[in-house]
Structure 1
């Protein structure tokens, strides 16, 4: 934790329009919260600290949809290239990795448990909150 928040660091919480809060350390966004909900690490932080949060894997066919901002549908997790923990609960913040890729490409919040996702196998499984090349990813250091 001291790597992320060193002693005597300049930490600021920036309140943005749309009920978004961003935790900034030395001008770099590290965490964010939407509508006073869960705090998520930014993808940049997660790329420096892999394994920081629970992960799921989608099949490679889902990549272009995720990079366009689409939510994760159940078949993307239950297909041959998908993977998730058996005990994954609903309303769990997760990092999303794609089949065959090393780095996480998005963050989201599960809308169903793993058992529900496997049982229903249709509908939105994970609500996307941050993905590569979105506005937060493109944010320059904050002054």
Structure 2
């Protein structure tokens, strides 16, 4: 990933980001925006805590691993993990539980069944109720996963 621009965000920009990422601690200053050839990353102490995806600000897995996740989640069986960390979308049959308040288009944090650790972040292609009920089809578009460019950003 090639860095094209890098600069510190204003206090106003940081305040706006805090509204969208209220469950992640952001300092009042020294928050950077890094524009690469693929992503716009938000860094705190050189660690990506979020990235822009369309008009959404998405938390990174490293930032999510430091907080309790109690909403906007889907839990997948252990057999799905090897596919998800290779970038595959989340299929409905692999989901064992999901937050029923999820709506199509929402950001979803995918957790593994055994440890409840985040393994990917995606965009819901169906509601949380449908994810729990359906036995076929794509449920979540995978946009960030363990081992991808954002995960490995230095």
> Which residue is 1:26 aligned to?
45
Count of residues in Structure 1 that have an aligned counterpart in Structure 2 = 133
Please give the alpha-carbon distance, in whole angstroms, between the structure 1 residues aligned to 2:23 and 2:120. 25
* Residue 27 of structure 2 corresponds to residue 6 of structure 1: yes
Query: Which consecutive aligned stretches of 4+ in structure 1 deviate over 3 angstroms post-superposition?
Result: 115-120
1:65 is paired with a residue of what secondary structure? helix
For 1:109-138, what per-residue CA distance to the aligned partner results, in whole angstroms no more than 9, with x for missing partners? 101113444565322100001111111111
The 5-angstrom pairing of residues 1-143 of structure 1 reads 4-7=25-28, 9-18=29-38, 20-34=39-53, 36-51=54-69, 54-77=72-95, 82-118=96-132, 120-140=134-154
Higher strand share: 2
1:48 is paired with a residue of what secondary structure? coil
Give ranges in structure 1 of 5+ residues lacking alignment. none
RMSD: 2.2
Give ranges in structure 2 of 5+ residues lacking alignment. 1-21
User: In the superposition, relative to structure 1, how do residues 47 and 118 fare at CA in structure 2: closer, same or farther (>3 Å)?
Assistant: closer
TM-score, length basis structure 1: 0.81
